[in-house]
Chains A and B, each alone.
Chain A
Amino acid sequence: MTVPTTTTRTVTQPEDLTHELATPDQPALRHRRRPGMTALLVLLLAAIVAYYVTRGSAFAVFLLDTALLACIGALALGLLMGTAGQVSIGNSAFLAAGGFTAVWASRTGFPFLLSVAFAAVVCGVVGAVVGLPALRIRGIYLALATLAAFFVVLFVANEYQSNTVGAGAFLLEPVFGGTAAERNQNWAWLLLAVVAVCLVLTTWMRTGRSGRAWRMIRDHEVAAPMMGIPVARYKLMAFIISSAMIGMQGALAAHFIGSLTADTFTLNLAVSYIAMILIGGADSQAGPLIGAFLVTTMPTFVPDLVEAASGSNASADSAAYSQIAYGALLILFIVYSPRGINGWFVDLSRFVRRRLAARKQHASGEFDVVA
């Protein structure tokens, strides 16, 4: 044989993620529907918004708005990557696609809400196109397909921008009237509503039939069709839904900031979304929200921590320091705590419940005979 032996090896790809995202001792019912939990999370978010809108500084409200925007993308990526197991570094691609579609729609005369909805639809279609390779390729190769989407979308966006407004930025009319502070407060309520809808939607899909199908595809893709799961349809569905959500976030962000330029959308931005869901906890309800809030608020507290630790002035490089912080946390979490911060809460609540149950048993005298 003239072919070197190295080119004929077969590789069995490990598809098994079960030990990764769910520990074996957890019941299969971990992803059951718990409407009370969702309601509690929405109430918590509403309380945060209400507190900062009434008490917080203008900057705090602005930060809250960006965190709420990030929540949308994190929930979407959590669905795609955490539940369906499709690795994607395409968040900035879809953000850019959404933002630029919204700008185009606004310039052609669409009203605000219609331009956002239109951007979501367009991004859903783009997501379907990016998801097409996913029907043939698996795993980490797919990350390269989303990387390709990033370069293609940015190319189109750059062409559009340089042919209409040049190197500057697109400017958008403010959606709400009033002073900057009032506008940001109105945005906080609007974004709260959007995040709540996204949370309910993703939770509903994660905990139902589609969630079970996605987890099966994530953990045992080759076996999934034998269980009667239409793999292609579910994969495309995950891509379309998450891309539409991220596109909607891009459109909302463009309207919120009031300007848009292609330079904002970098690969680092996409990595920060991966960091959000893996720090917060992939395939969980609260994880993406925790991660989004933590990572977006990092520039405000990480430089202070650096200054406290080293004494040097770090505020000038706040973005770079927070980049280091989320990169390091990303590595620490995937190595030492794969279920993220949300996993800590799950463990804590189980620990407390077990202790309470044991105490109750003890109090009812069941152990007295043994003693």
Chain B
Amino acid sequence: MEQLTAAVIGGLSLGSTYALVTLGLVLVFRATDTMNFAHGHFMLLAAFLVGKWQTESDAPFVPMLLASLTVVGLVGALLYRVVLRKTVGRPHFIPVIATLGFAAIADGTMNIVFGSTQYSITMPGLPTGATEIFGARFGSASLVITAFTTLLALSVVVAFRYTSMGIKIRAAGQDALLASQGGVNVHWVYIGSWALAGILAGIAGIAYGSTNVVNPGMIELAMLAFPAALLGGLDSIPGSLVGGLAIGLLQGFVASYHGGEYVNVSTYLVLLIVMLFMPQGMFGTHRVSRV
């Protein structure tokens, strides 16, 4: 029973982070048809900024949070505006490779600026101590964070379904020409979705960093969100929530029943299985190619 609760709660807490990360990946894929391999760097940047500011000053948390999210949002928007926009109309893989190039730049820069120090983020208002659920003990802070990230992811999904902003983003991604004729400013929608993806990644990074340490290992977390995105369907926004939670649960079970070293490999085996047997994922679009 203890092991089971550890698997489920631990998995859900990871899964809620994955859901946020995957949401960002799916959002930019939906809007601009690009897989963003620099998503983990957005997460790490926001977490690093907050961690560094907290160790160097006593400023209150909320302005720091807003400032760091503004920075990653701007970085995301600039990446799209300065680089990816220039690759419109070129083969599919060109913008993806551009994000890989950006990932290399971000990796090197963060290595120089932040060094190899590990930072920790202390979020005010989080409960300390541990809570016992069915015999397994969890940090209360991580439970609160889990609830918060799940709610956030859920509300973003709902917002995409029902608000005009969400509909604009979906429309612009589906048919840019038609959307622009319908009065949607496609250009700004694209920039906005990259900024939003950066902000979502930043929130995920800070949330994850407040219960774990902040170090470059966070980039791997975003790499492990690709299987979640593919499982849910690369272009399905509700799918990212389901996929993220499913991958989190899978990792929770694998970690608690087999051991942490099997987590990455089992996640990517899921990716291979999904790819071979249902490439469109659970909620994704069937892709049809014509000559």
Contact A271/B104 with A15-B289, A17-B91, A140-B93 known, Cβ cut-off 8 Å: yes
Among B264, B272, B284, the residue within 8 A (CB) of A133 is: B272
For chain B residues 224-264, which have a beta carbon within 8 Å of chain A? 226, 230, 236, 261-262, 264
Asked, given contacts A148-B268, A222-B289, whether A139 binds B92 with beta carbons under 8 Å apart, the answer is yes
- Considering only CB atoms, which chain B residue lies closest to A226 in the complex? B291
- Total of A-B residue pairs, C-beta within 8 Å: 162
Stretch at the interface among B82-90, B127-135, B185-193: B82-90
Given contacts A133-B272, A317-B112, A324-B104, contact A330 B97 (CB under 8 A): yes
Known: A20-B90, A143-B96, A274-B97. A327 touches B104 (CB 8 A): yes
Given contacts A144-B271, A268-B104, contact A20 B170 (CB under 8 A): no
Contacting pair B107 A268 (CB below 8 A): yes
Contact of A137 among B90, B275, B283 (CB under 8 A): B275
In the complex, how many angstroms separate the beta carbon of A221 from the nearest chain B beta carbon? 8
Instruction: List the A side residues contacting B223 at CB < 8 Å.
Output: 147, 267
Contact A323 B275 (CB under 8 A): no
Contact between chains at A11 and B272 (CB < 8 Å): no
CB of A171 within 8 Å of the partner chain? no
A324 touches B268 (CB 8 A): no
Contact partner, B93, options A12, A139, A152, A272, Cβ 8 Å? A139
The residue of chain A having its C-beta at the shortest distance from the C-beta of B239 within the complex is A7
**Contact size range, B:** 35 or more
B279 nearest CB neighbor, chain A only: A137
- Chain A nearest CB, measured from B109 CB (Å): 6
Which A residues, 123 to 160, have Cβ-Cβ distances below 8 Å to chain B? Answer: 132-133, 136-141, 143-145, 147-148, 151-152, 154-155, 158-159
Q: Chain A residues with Cβ under 8 A from B102's Cβ?
A: 327, 331
Q: Is there contact, CB below 8 Å, between B98 and A334?
A: yes
Would you call A144 and B93 a contact (CB within 8 A)? no
| B106 (CB) vs chain A CBs: closest residue | A327
Which of A13, A148, A268 is B92 in contact with, Cβ under 8 Å?
A13
B197 is an interface residue with CB less than 8 A from chain A = no
A264 within 8 A of B: no
Residues from 262 to 283 in B contacting A, C-beta threshold 8 Å:
262, 264-265, 267-269, 271-272, 275-276, 279, 283
What 8 A-B pairs are tightest by C-beta distance, nearest first?
A: A327-B104, A323-B108, A330-B101, A324-B108, A327-B105, A155-B265, A148-B268, A320-B108
